[in-house]
Amino acid sequence: MYLDPEDERILQGEFGETRQKMLEILTALGKVFGAEKIIPIKSAQVSGASYKTIGEWGLRWLESLQAKVVVPTVLNPIGMPRDHWEELGISREFAEKQQAIIEAYRRLGVKMECTCTPYYLQLTQYGDHLAWAESSAVVYANSVIGARTNREGGPGALAAAIIGKTPEYGLHLLANRRPQIAVTIDGLYSPKQLKDIYGAIGYLAGKQVGNRIPIFSGIRARRDDLKALGAAMAATGAVGLFHVEGLTPEARIFKFGSAGLEEIIIEQSEIAALFREMEVDVVAIGCPHCSPTELEEIARLLEGKTVKKPLFIFSSQQVLRENRKTAEKIARSGARIVPDTCMVVSPFMERYRAIMVDSGKALAYVPDMCGAMARIGTREECIRTAVG
């Protein structure tokens, strides 16, 4: 694999042991996946930020690193909000470990934004090469923005952030971004009905698509709908990129569209079967973290109402800062807005027995990660359940 003279010096250890080790990670990845060179990236997003997921070993590894990131870098959600964590019943022991992780990342120069929606925080443009780790952010960046990133692991993304480069393989290469399987949705859904079920469609499609690149036809979705669709496909499958004919930015490059590809149909009956009734003790919205538009929709649905069942809304600090009035409207209902963390990576959701979500990704992850049953509903149904 080609390395420029400065990279060679990093590899010889001239710029410290951490940078040397980080470049070794990148060259090892590049060799495994057949990369010819390493290429500059515009930004990084690092997973492995919650003490619940990385534990003591991960914390010690982070504390051992001596370097700074050289591109804008943010974190995936951590295991608790940075402020007022006591109010959620987080133990002091967990909080201290989580704070040590935050401190370790801060020392590395990582920006203290902890979110799975980094595309709301920093400018990410068509054609940018990135090293992002969160699977739902990866699929959004590739599909909706037309940027290019593989599904990085936590160490690979951090290594790329510290070196400022990533091996050029997989989804960084246009030839690997062609549609591989066609997906259509059975049934006569209106755009309004479809809007509420993209998470469920993604949940079902991901299981059949696996790690291939699907192309959808016949849908007109908003960015938030595509976010829900991609996040769910990345969870039940290993989808890193999808196209929508006539909609997503790269669909027009591959002119043959869905013609000649194997086709799968998501049946209306399968979608309906996912929306089963079940008694829940909590409602959680914001997987992936809510956008400004989603916060506005939640505020509108909650207007003049009081929640009777716990309702948690997850979003990033920055989005909440920039939409303070909307957040205040939501909070007036008694709903709890929680930044920095999420229903899956925080231990505070583990006390619940059954969780209602509006997300296909959460539907897939909640049973294993929270030890709770999960029910999916539309956003409107979620709010209705919370207000009783």
- Provide the token pair at 6: 């400065």
How many residues in the shown chain lie near ligand F3S by CB under 6 A?
Answer: 16
Q: Is 288 in the site for ligand F3S (CB under 6 A)?
A: yes
In angstroms, give the least distance from the CB of 2 to ligand F3S: 35
In angstroms, give the least distance from the CB of 14 to ligand F3S: 37
Distance, CA of 314 to chain centre? 12
The DSSP 8-state label assigned to residue 336 in this structure reads E
One residue of 62, 74, 114, 116 binding ligand F3S per CB under 6 A: 116
Q: Is 231 in the site for ligand F3S (CB under 6 A)?
A: yes
Binding mask of the shown chain, residues 123 to 142, with x at each position contacting ligand F3S by CB under 6 A: -----------x-x------
251 or 374, CB closer to ligand F3S?
374
Q: Is 314 in the site for ligand F3S (CB under 6 A)?
A: yes
> Is the CB of residue 115 less than 8 Å from the CB of residue 74?
yes
Distances (CA, A) of 303 to 164, 172, 384: 46, 44, 12
In angstroms, give the least distance from the CB of 162 to ligand F3S: 22
134 or 358, CB closer to ligand F3S?
134
Place of tokens 């006569």: 188
Rounded Cα–Cα distance for residues 210 and 162 (Å): 31
Edge-first strand listing for the sheet containing 181-185: 243-244, 214-216, 181-185, 263-266
> Is the CB of residue 43 less than 8 Å from the CB of residue 72?
yes
Beta pairing, strands 73-75 & 43-46: parallel
204 or 231, CB closer to ligand F3S?
231
In angstroms, give the least distance from the CB of 253 to ligand F3S: 27
Rounded Cα–Cα distance for residues 71 and 173 (Å): 21
> Is the CB of residue 209 less than 8 Å from the CB of residue 184?
no
In angstroms, give the least distance from the CB of 325 to ligand F3S: 23
By CB under 6 A, the residues from 72 to 101 that bind ligand F3S are 76-77
* Interface positions with ligand F3S (CB under 6 A): 76-77, 116, 134, 136, 231, 287-289, 314, 342, 344-345, 361-362, 365
